[in-house]
Amino acid sequence: MTDLGKLLGGLLGGNADGSGGNLLAMLLSTLGGGQGAAGGLAALLHQLTQGGLGPQAQSWVGTGANHPVTGPELAAALPDRELDALAEQSGLSPDQVARHLAAQLPAAVDQLTPTGELPTPATLDELFATQS
């Protein structure tokens, strides 16, 4: 399994205790509307930029070092309704969802954008389909 496969498997398969569910897949699906995971990734990066996390988000897409983000920063940048929906679906609190996503998003986005560009919708949807 590739590093990306392992990463997505971990993100999509939940946490070690099994409580996390498919947080990244759920978030991308929700934010993407009917556009699939790729639309969700673009929407997520836009939302983070609008929420003041543009430098962090761009560092994950770019080819340089990834800047970290904290759970509270992520929670402030994302709409409450998104975190609340993820919390309800996963059985975690909104704060826990934000912390889990903050820990995983830099590496996930970095792995999904190895050339510094967003993947095509078909490529990203295929990756998520093989991991779910």
In Å, how far from its chain's centre is CA 112? 10
pLDDT tens digits along 83-100: 999 999 889 999 999 999
Which homologous superfamily does the CATH classification assign to the domain defined by 38-131? YidB-like (1.10.10.690)
Extents of the domains making up the chain: 38-131
Q: How many whole angstroms separate alpha carbon 109 and alpha carbon 7? A: 10
Answer whether 0.75 is exceeded by the pTM: yes
pLDDT tens digits along 42-95: 889 999 999 999 999 999 999 889 999 999 999 999 999 999 999 998 899 999
Which amino acid, 42? A
